[in-house]
Amino acid sequence: MFLGVDTGGTFTDFVCFDADGMRFHKVLSTPDDPSLAIEQGIEELGLDASMLHVVHGSTVATNAILQRKGVHTLFVTHQGLEDLLTIGRQTRPELYQLCPDAIAPVVGRQDCIGISGRINASGDEQSVLDAGDLKRVIERVAAGGYEAVAVCLLFSFLNPAHERAIAKALHDTYSDDLFVSLSHQVLAEYREYERSATTFLNAYVGPLVQRYLQRLELSLGAKHLYVMHSAGGVMQAELAGQQAVRLVLSGPAGGLVAAQAIGAQLSEKHILTFDMGGTSTDVALIQGRASKTTEGEIAGMPVSLPMLDIHTIGAGGGSVAWLDEAGLPQVGPESAGARPGPVCYGLGGEKPTVTDANLLLGRMPANACLAGSMSLDMEAARSAFSQYGETLGLSAEAAARAVIDIAEEHMAGALRVVSVQRGYDPADFSLLCFGGAGGLHACALAEKLSMSKVIIPVASGAFSALGMLLGKQQSEFSRSRRFALQDNDTAAEMQQLFMQMQDEAVAQMQGLALTFERHVDMRYIGQGFHLTMACPDDDLEQLKQRFEQAHMQAYGHQLNRDVEIMTVRLSAFVERPLPVLPELCTSTEVAHPVAHSEIYGVGRVPHFMRADLKPGLSYEGPMLVLEDIATLWLARGWQMQVSTHGHLLLEKIDANQLVLEAVDV
């Protein structure tokens, strides 16, 4: 049996594949100890944990970084570079803000120590790492009571001898009681600030992730436990504990993996994904395959490991409505979370949220039960919006409508970031919506972006958990080396480096049968940025042509300069059978409404259960489509069909057709 588990800020989602087919489930998250919600969900599903292959999307690393609750960590670098993580790149998030708010550094000056040993840019030892340096590091660890040490030395990606010597000295003294993170193992690439930040974050959250996963393995007793990482693959729990920083996009990555699989199933190559949960909204662009980036960031610090290119904003079902200093309505990024949650949950929440607004407007039925068992308090939501709207001179319903409009504009803006701002027209894409609240805003967002097709996939309310099961076991490797394409020896040297990484992959993944993908970071000589290009063969001239075409696509011009390679990258995959969604039988049996209700500004609309909708017929809005884990609001002017695999395919009805139908009436 396979179980995908996605721990979100509000709900923990489950997708189970067993002999009985596919089942979905939701429970409220338990932020203080995420494993409690997982144990609860397994018990409610009636599963035997000892028979499960569990793939987990964890927020432990992400939350620890965002909340500055990592372990006490010592940063070891060279003398003179102790302030590296504080100074950073001196980039400003708001270019014209003359008095920006200062961001407290994640590491204090007292938690940094410099050593004198040095490796030069050729990888040769310039000055010796002596015993005095090692003694000072060991003594500082003892004096400061540190749980973890992050070591990042210049040019360690060329020659890691000094980093290894420091690690050996620490291990000989403290055995396994100290978590040690070495930059050449975490990120063997140039750019010392990005490498230092990534290495420090790995040490900062590593012990927390290790303890959490060990506790989860012990409490569940599962047959196998894997964790999804930010690049969209899965890794063994033990390795995930050692490489904790790779988990910062663990949950959202699952949704993108599933979206890519559904797009292939429906022969839809151009997709914008929209994942709206209780705390945040994640959006991404897919063109056949989800794109990756090595320019991720969390809490103002770079994470330069390969990760799926996902843009996140603080707009979810639990996003709180508030008034700014000018008395204008705002929504998010503050979230009500799981506890107390939205007002309508009845768990002590007092501030109105997007979920409360959807309930009050009738988009969520008053008798709905979230996660199949949680009843909602309509009157509490009404009372909260009555107070909120009073200041604005609006009724409760009008205030709720305003909150929905603001939230949807934030979400549309996020979709424009990954499409319009990158030179793509959203009208050329299908909008794939998921997350528990995604279907409530799907039609409105598509209309804002002039999109005519929307996909609401199977398991939309637990879609990221489904993606956990569709991810391959995967590891990422990289090495920074400077190769000039015109040099005769470049192809052979690159091949040698790729083979070294393949050997490392085989050793790390315990001799499993692997397939590999090769990529390289390329740039014109003198540029400070790069483009990552697939490198399936040794034809360097063809590689250069593809780079120049990609540069033209991205920046609109080419340069009359030589091209160089800065970093080579290898992805290693374990090929294994993946769960397959079953096909449904077509039917001409018309589904009947299970209820009707009033929706603000629309009128009385029918409710349909998603399980009653079969392939073969089409339905027109307005209507609500209900299931335990999600709700779809099909607005007027949209029609819906069910695919053979159970996905809901929405299409905008031509405006001329609507006019003709109105005349006929």
Which residue in the block uniquely carries the two structure tokens 């047959």?
A: 223
Given 528, 558, 574, the domain boundary residue is 574
210-267 pLDDT, tens digit each: 999 999 988 888 778 999 999 999 999 999 999 999 998 888 899 999 999 999 999 9
612-623 pLDDT, tens digit each: 998 988 899 899
Which CATH number covers residue 538? Answer: 3.30.1490
398-451 pLDDT, tens digit each: 999 999 999 999 999 999 999 998 889 999 999 999 988 899 999 999 999 999
Q: Residue 120's pLDDT is what?
A: 94
Task: State both tokens at 347.
Answer: 């768990």
Instruction: State the total domains in the chain.
Output: 2
31-35, 542-546, 582-586: which has the highest mean pLDDT? 542-546
Residue 156 counted as domain residue: yes
> For all residues of the chain together, what is the average pLDDT?
89
Asked if 228 contacts 471 with a C-beta cutoff of 8 angstroms, the reply is yes
Cβ partners under 8 Å of residue 199, min gap 6: 150, 151, 152, 181, 182, 183, 186, 187
Q: Residue 566's pLDDT is what?
A: 95
pTM of the model: 0.87
Closest CA to 105 of 75, 139, 60: 75
* Average pLDDT of the segment spanning 314-333: 86
Residue 170 counted as domain residue: yes
Given 574, 600, 615, the domain boundary residue is 574
- Residue 561's φ and ψ, nearest 5 degrees, are -140, 160
Residue 336 counted as domain residue: no
Q: Residue 346's pLDDT is what?
A: 84
Percent pLDDT > 90 in the chain is: 57
Cβ partners under 8 Å of residue 268, min gap 6: 262, 430, 432, 455
Question: HSE-up of 85 (CA within 13 Å, CB side)?
Answer: 33
Pairing between strand 307-308 and 311-313? unpaired
154-204 pLDDT, tens digit each: 999 999 999 999 999 999 999 888 999 999 999 999 999 999 999 999 999
CA 363 – CA 344 distance, rounded (Å): 14
- Residue 170 lies in domain: 48-91+105-248
Is the pLDDT score of 658 beyond 60?
no
| 101 vs 227, higher pLDDT | 227
Given 197, 227, 248, the domain boundary residue is 248
Residue 129 counted as domain residue: yes
Residue 364 counted as domain residue: no
pLDDT band at 627 (very low <50, low <70, confident <90, very high): confident
Residue 118 counted as domain residue: yes
How far is C-alpha 36 from the chain's CA centre?
22
Residue 277 counted as domain residue: no
* Average pLDDT of the segment spanning 62-79: 91
290-303 pLDDT, tens digit each: 888 888 888 788 89
Task: State both tokens at 345.
Answer: 């949950």
567-603 pLDDT, tens digit each: 999 999 997 777 777 777 777 788 899 999 999 989 9
Which residue in the block uniquely carries the two structure tokens 């989800």?
A: 290
Which residue in the block uniquely carries the two structure tokens 């010592």?
A: 74
Residue 618 counted as domain residue: no
CA 214 – CA 329 distance, rounded (Å): 45
* Average pLDDT of the segment spanning 68-94: 89
Question: HSE-up of 232 (CA within 13 Å, CB side)?
Answer: 20
Count the Cβ atoms, other than its own, within 10 Å of residue 28: 21
* Average pLDDT of the segment spanning 12-19: 86
3-state secondary structure of 571: strand
* Average pLDDT of the segment spanning 65-87: 92
Task: State both tokens at 479.
Answer: 């090495």
Cβ partners under 8 Å of residue 489, min gap 6: none
Q: Residue 665's pLDDT is what?
A: 47
Bridge partners, 431 (sequence order) = 272, 454
